[in-house]
Structure 1
Amino acid sequence: MARNSSGKKIVVWGILGLLIVGLGGFGTANFGGTVSNVGSVGDREIDVNTYANALTNEVTRFEQQIGQQMSIEQASQIGIPARVLGQLFSQAALDGETARLGLSVGDTAVREQLLSIQGFQGLDGKFDPDAYKAALNRVGENPTKFEQSLREDLSRALLQGALTTGITMPAVYGDVVVEWIGERRTISVAIMGQDALLTGIPVPTEADIKAQYDAAPDTYTTPETRDVTYVWVTPEMIADEVDLDEASLRQLYDDNISQFVQSERRLVERLVFGTTEEADAAAARLASGETTFEDEITARGLDIVDADMGDVSRADLGAAGDAIFALDASGVSEPINTDLGPALFRVNGILEASEISFEDARADLSIEMAADAARREIGDMIENLDDLLASGATLEEVASETRLELETLNWTPASEDGIASYSDFIDAIKAAQLDDFPEIIQLSDGAIFAMRLDSITPATLRPLDDVRNQVVADWEIAETTRQMLVRAQDLESQVASGTALADLGLPVETFDAITRQDYISTMPDGFIDTVFAPGLAKGATTLIEGQGRVVIARIDDVLPPEDTADNTAIADSYIASAAQSAAQDVVAAFSSALRTREGISINQTAVDAVHAQLP
């Protein structure tokens, strides 16, 4: 019963969390113009700014994951715009249904939600009307429309809550997972190396060498080589030539003052609970040492990254700021009421206030400004370069008349230095044809290039005589492995017939009560998967080959999972996670049915216009 209740609460908070995350991206972009919507579901239109903001937020989130910027074209290749548009269609379908059913929330709920949005709070953590108006003005929004969107969001959450209430998973689901994860096995192994072979490796015959050569032609084949001539220029190549304006450097420093002057900050994790009682119970468990903060995170069906807030200032924490900044490093707070609900905070570190003067920052600012100016200067070159190439100028002539540098490259898939480190260049060279005319292509860091494919040397199997030494070495490795496996199979048969591992004359080791989650660095790759194979019962044997050895393993014992708080938490976590996934599927299926019933339309012209204005 306790498991089902916990799972239900996590499902509800998971759905509401999606709402709150959506609110957090408000005010990121202002599309403007005369285009009003990108599509509709029935009579519910999707505002063009809503799509632009949602798309920008999703691209930014993905950029943070991969650690680099991406263009809208790259985002489209992996389906981000389509996914965002689909989510907005589903949201519009649900909004239409809430209106049809007459579901809504009162002004009090809207007000509470509005007051809780951090972007509208002042330094004291309280709602600031001026900050609210300024944020709306920046995106061309008005309070009436924005507050109506809040009402729709909260009303939609009511509908989603009605759809997902009561969705739970049976306790046996968690039990099965724990049985699989927590099963313990005691394994004894005998480790056989090359020195255990009864005979040495013979000298390969010519037939052996030829068979090895014929069996692995790819190993002895040179890759396709594409010989190219190209001209290019990068911001780094011309950054030293850029004149830096002292006033502009100072302005750049002032515009980014938050990077150089920072108040005291804390490294904080936050764990939100559905009720005050749940938060109090967790705090009591932590205080008694019954659980750790990590245990509590896992029990909520979350990962540590879900709780990590990063480094935050007192103002970032709002009403919780004073209490959190009163904690020492590694301290855990008492339950604190937040806009998301009662929460426990853990401080993992203290970052002292810091200030970098303009003089100290000048060198880095100069590099940044020079690089930015160089990128703009390169951008200004493109039109002239296009004209030169269109008039028939060769790459050699372009290099002599402009600041682009002429180079050549014998490119193979293994090339990775210089221009070959750019994915756009790799895509271009793979697609290039011998009769293509050079054209200017931009790279991700602002560099540009144009290239000419001079020749293609196909992948070629090297003659046996040229690679004989490599073939002989490969044969010796393969023959050694073969003989070791033959010898190991014979020894395994002896063990299966009753011979003790210790009687094999090999080093023996025993691993007591290991689980599928263990990793044994001294064993070959795949050791854990092999010894936990479903068909292996107590007393069974198996072989694992790798790292120049063959391991003969015997299953000494198979034990059930331990009855621990950790395993109980794992079961609860999987139940809650599965219930939340099922709830999301229900909402998705319901919204899909609504979309089919109401019909959808897409204003592709508006969608393309949004994409054109994004970076």
Structure 2
Amino acid sequence: MAAKGISRTFVWILMGLLIIGLAGFGATNLGGAFGTVARVGTAEIRTNDYARALQNEIRAREAERGGAISFQQAREMGIPDQVLAQLVTTASFDHEATRLGVSIGDDNLRQQILGIPAFQGIDGNFDREAYAFTLDRIGLTEGEFEDDMRAETARALVQSAVMAGVTVPDAYLETLLTYLGEERDVTWAVLERADLDTGLPTPTEEDLRSYHQGNLPSFTTPETKRITYAWLTPEMIIDTVEVDEQSLRDAYEERIDEFNQPERRLVERLAFADMGAAQTAIAGINDGSTDFETLVAQRGLDLVDVDLGDVAREDLGTAAEVVFAAQAGDVVGPVETDLGPALFRVNAILSAQETTFEEAEPLLRDTLAADRARRVIDSRIDRIADLLAGGATIEDLAAETDMEQGQIDWHSGVTEGIGAYDAFRQAAQAITEDDFPDVEQLGDGGIFAMRLDRVVEPEIQPLDEVRDAVLAGWRQQATVAALTEKAEPLVASLRNGSDFTDLGLDTLDAQNLTRQGFQPDTPREFIETVFGMEQGGVALIEGNTRVFILRLDAVRPPSSDNEELARLRTALRDQSASSMAQDFYQLLATDIRTRAEIEIDQQAINAVHGTFQ
């Protein structure tokens, strides 16, 4: 069957994809010795197509990583297998399109090629020389390109037939929405250490030793990198940077609008269609029968729609005099404006600000000095890089330049000193003992170089070194155990019909909780526990030094007038339909591969791989 209704835009997209996909390997031709690397039923995977796809994928991965990838690395990453699998899937749909007789027809193909801009001359008409030149650059003959275009279009038709029109059953959507939007009311009481009838026992040495051994991860140091570094920041040299007075005065003049601001007003403006309506509105405000907010709402507007922000006299035109004569809170007008008669409300008066050069000088000096310090550091980068390239050590940098030497036992939890800089943290994460020091830049304009001295493996801290932490942990555990013991009979009473007030418990409550909700000052598993309970059920949650007794009071289905839930319904329907369409696509591809005979020519594949070595 012939496809007659393919749009020109769709064809241009296909053409673009073909040229982009083929351009990366146009000069290489492996088709002489090996025409194909694989066959799926009636569809062939040409050797050159495999080579192009493989090179394009490797280049894409290199762009992601920011560095070259050898073919051996590509093999270890599974790239050749992934590319071949993608091409086999594509060929499967080509085979299926042929089996079904899907084709765009010669006339349709001709019209589409004539309409592709890449093949047109400067007069906008089809240019055969441009056509031949473009195909030659991507290593295709006219016949090969036209076959590819036929196959690409037919394949797209088959794929769209599978993926288009997929709808999600209402029952599936309702189940998801019920899960996400169901609301629950809960009441709870909290027992703390002060609620214990007796104090905690004094732990024995054996108690502490047992707690220490039972919680070794909490008393194990992280793996750290012992790093020696040299660094230089603008702050280190800012006191040595001279800033002359003329530069300060020039900077002051450049920022004069910042230091000298005229009197301003925070103003809202409400325009009307005619003067009569505006006069009626101001009369209503003056006699108290209405107010500015009501007038705005009656126009279907919000206050943000009429807010002008802070304005100076020159911003208000003909309304300047009346607005600047008003007091904060006044509504004045009507005044003719570019938008018609308008009322103005003055929300605040901002006095003029005049900052003299002498008052601004400290700020200007700090700003200019910091900028010059950064430039001084920039000017020294090449020399420092040359020293490192010549074999200088970190210690040499500290001795021969203004850089300061330091050492840090770094791990991801270190956020002080140089460890507070993102650039240093990223470099420290990646550094190995085989790396040579190099100059790297910090976010504030500073620079650093570093050397990994050694990796310090995690170590269990002896009890005597962490005795205070062990004692605190034991007390917390003992407190929770004692509170749990006290809470268990209270939980039993609540389950038997007693109320919190009957048991002398002060309570807190929350209504309309959803699974996406958050309840402050509760354990992390609070929401999960609430939504795992049956209505009327009672549960006990252990916190750090407290326990929580929960009772689920009500369970309600999602609110039908919830706008956020309505938006979520639409998003879920689209997302689920897309996911189902992808599943159908994969199922069809698997079915085609199962029905069609797949032949892989490993010799041809090896020949392609040989060109990458």
**What secondary structure does 2:102 align onto?**
coil
CA distance in 2, matches of 1:22, 1:84: 21
Aligned in 2, Cα 1:580/1:209: closer, same or farther, shift over 3 Å?
A: same
**What secondary structure does 2:466 align onto?**
helix
Q: How does 1:128-139 map to 2 (within 5 A)?
A: 136=134
**What secondary structure does 1:603 align onto?**
helix
Residue of structure 1 equivalent to 2:541: 544
Q: How does 1:566-585 map to 2 (within 5 A)?
A: 566=566, 569=570, 572-573=573-574, 576-585=577-586
CA contact (8 A) 1:190 1:552 kept: yes
Q: How does 1:67-466 map to 2 (within 5 A)?
A: 69=66, 72=69, 82-99=81-98, 102-106=101-105, 136=134, 140=138, 144=142, 148-163=147-162, 170-223=169-222, 411=409, 413-414=411-412, 417=419, 421=424, 426=429, 429=432, 459-466=458-465
Select the residue among 534, 551, 554 that pairs with 1:554.
551
Select the residue among 602, 605, 612 that pairs with 1:603.
605
Q: How does 1:40-55 map to 2 (within 5 A)?
A: 40-42=37-39, 43-45=44-46, 46-54=49-57
Superposition deviation, residue 36 in structure 1: 4.2
CA contact (8 A) 2:164 2:581 kept: no
Q: Given residue 543 of structure 1, which amino acid in structure 2 is its aligned partner?
A: L
**What secondary structure does 2:549 align onto?**
strand
Superposition deviation, residue 424 in structure 1: 7.6
Counting matched residue pairs gives 434
Answer yes or no: is 1:508 the counterpart of 2:507.
Answer: yes
**What secondary structure does 1:518 align onto?**
coil
* 1:305-329 C-alpha deviation (Å, 9 max, x unpaired): xxxxxxxxxxxxxxxxxxxxxxxxx
Q: Given residue 51 of structure 2, which amino acid in structure 1 is its aligned partner?
A: V
* 1:67-86 C-alpha deviation (Å, 9 max, x unpaired): x8466479887666654453
CA distance in 2, matches of 1:397, 1:88: 55
Q: Given residue 554 of structure 2, which amino acid in structure 1 is its aligned partner?
A: D
Aligned in 2, Cα 1:422/1:552: closer, same or farther, shift over 3 Å?
A: closer
Q: Given residue 205 of structure 1, which amino acid in structure 2 is its aligned partner?
A: T
Residue of structure 1 equivalent to 2:491: 492
CA contact (8 A) 2:187 2:551 kept: yes
Superposition deviation, residue 165 in structure 1: 7.0
Rg larger in structure: 2
* 1:519-557 C-alpha deviation (Å, 9 max, x unpaired): 333432122211111xx3221111233365432211212
Aligned in 2, Cα 1:469/1:395: closer, same or farther, shift over 3 Å?
A: same
CA distance in 1, matches of 2:571, 2:589: 27
Aligned in 2, Cα 1:422/1:184: closer, same or farther, shift over 3 Å?
A: closer
CA distance in 2, matches of 1:545, 1:84: 52
CA contact (8 A) 2:27 2:137 kept: no
Aligned in 2, Cα 1:127/1:518: closer, same or farther, shift over 3 Å?
A: farther
Q: Given residue 481 of structure 1, which amino acid in structure 2 is its aligned partner?
A: V
CA distance in 1, matches of 2:176, 2:406: 57
Superposition deviation, residue 516 in structure 1: 2.2
CA distance in 2, matches of 1:556, 1:114: 69
Aligned in 2, Cα 1:189/1:35: closer, same or farther, shift over 3 Å?
A: farther
Superposition deviation, residue 168 in structure 1: 5.8
CA distance in 1, matches of 2:139, 2:486: 77
CA distance in 2, matches of 1:104, 1:85: 25
CA contact (8 A) 1:160 1:587 kept: no
* 1:279-307 C-alpha deviation (Å, 9 max, x unpaired): xxxxxxxxxx9xxxxxxxxxxxxxxxxxx
CA contact (8 A) 1:212 1:475 kept: yes
Structure with the bigger RCO (C-alpha within 8 Å, sep 6+) is 1
Aligned in 2, Cα 1:576/1:228: closer, same or farther, shift over 3 Å?
A: closer
Residue of structure 2 equivalent to 1:303: none
Aligned in 2, Cα 1:540/1:450: closer, same or farther, shift over 3 Å?
A: closer
Residue of structure 2 equivalent to 1:30: 24
**What secondary structure does 1:557 align onto?**
strand
TM, length-normalised to structure 2: 0.53
CA contact (8 A) 1:184 1:560 kept: yes
Residue of structure 2 equivalent to 1:271: none
CA contact (8 A) 2:517 2:527 kept: yes
**What secondary structure does 1:556 align onto?**
strand
CA distance in 1, matches of 2:201, 2:428: 49
Q: Given residue 536 of structure 2, which amino acid in structure 1 is its aligned partner?
A: G
Residue of structure 2 equivalent to 1:478: 477
**What secondary structure does 2:20 align onto?**
coil
CA distance in 2, matches of 1:213, 1:136: 73
Residue of structure 2 equivalent to 1:333: none
* 1:397-452 C-alpha deviation (Å, 9 max, x unpaired): 9989x99x9978565544684899576865664xx6xxxxx57599999x999968
Superposition deviation, residue 498 in structure 1: 1.7
CA distance in 2, matches of 1:545, 1:551: 6
CA distance in 1, matches of 2:127, 2:522: 64
CA distance in 1, matches of 2:546, 2:104: 68
CA contact (8 A) 2:230 2:405 kept: yes
CA distance in 2, matches of 1:116, 1:476: 80
Aligned in 2, Cα 1:184/1:227: closer, same or farther, shift over 3 Å?
A: closer
Residue of structure 2 equivalent to 1:245: none
457-466 or 140-149: which moved more?
140-149
Q: Given residue 548 of structure 2, which amino acid in structure 1 is its aligned partner?
A: V
CA distance in 1, matches of 2:428, 2:496: 61
CA distance in 2, matches of 1:574, 1:468: 53
* 1:216-274 C-alpha deviation (Å, 9 max, x unpaired): 233333445665779999xxxxxxxxxxxxxxxxxxxxxxxxxxxxxxxxxxxxxxxxx
CA contact (8 A) 2:211 2:470 kept: yes
CA distance in 2, matches of 1:195, 1:479: 14
CA distance in 2, matches of 1:498, 1:598: 72
CA contact (8 A) 1:221 1:462 kept: yes
CA distance in 2, matches of 1:591, 1:478: 60
Superposition deviation, residue 181 in structure 1: 2.7
CA contact (8 A) 2:222 2:459 kept: yes
* 1:17-74 C-alpha deviation (Å, 9 max, x unpaired): 9x969956953863455354897331322253344345545776xx5xxxx8466479
CA distance in 1, matches of 2:440, 2:606: 27
* 1:117-175 C-alpha deviation (Å, 9 max, x unpaired): 999999xxx99999x98995896467946565443221101222455578666443333
468-477 or 569-578: which moved more?
569-578
Answer yes or no: is 1:593 the counterpart of 2:586.
Answer: no
Residue of structure 1 equivalent to 2:360: none
Superposition deviation, residue 508 in structure 1: 2.2
CA distance in 2, matches of 1:182, 1:110: 51
* 1:545-596 C-alpha deviation (Å, 9 max, x unpaired): 3365432211212333445682764674465245313212223313543786
CA contact (8 A) 1:492 1:542 kept: yes
Aligned in 2, Cα 1:557/1:22: closer, same or farther, shift over 3 Å?
A: farther
**What secondary structure does 1:598 align onto?**
strand
CA contact (8 A) 2:480 2:544 kept: no
Superposition deviation, residue 114 in structure 1: 7.3
TM, length-normalised to structure 1: 0.53
CA distance in 2, matches of 1:55, 1:184: 50
Q: Which structure 1 segments of 5+ residues have no match?
A: 1-15, 234-288, 290-363, 433-437
CA distance in 1, matches of 2:606, 2:396: 40
CA distance in 2, matches of 1:191, 1:121: 78
CA distance in 2, matches of 1:33, 1:232: 48
Superposition deviation, residue 115 in structure 1: 9.6
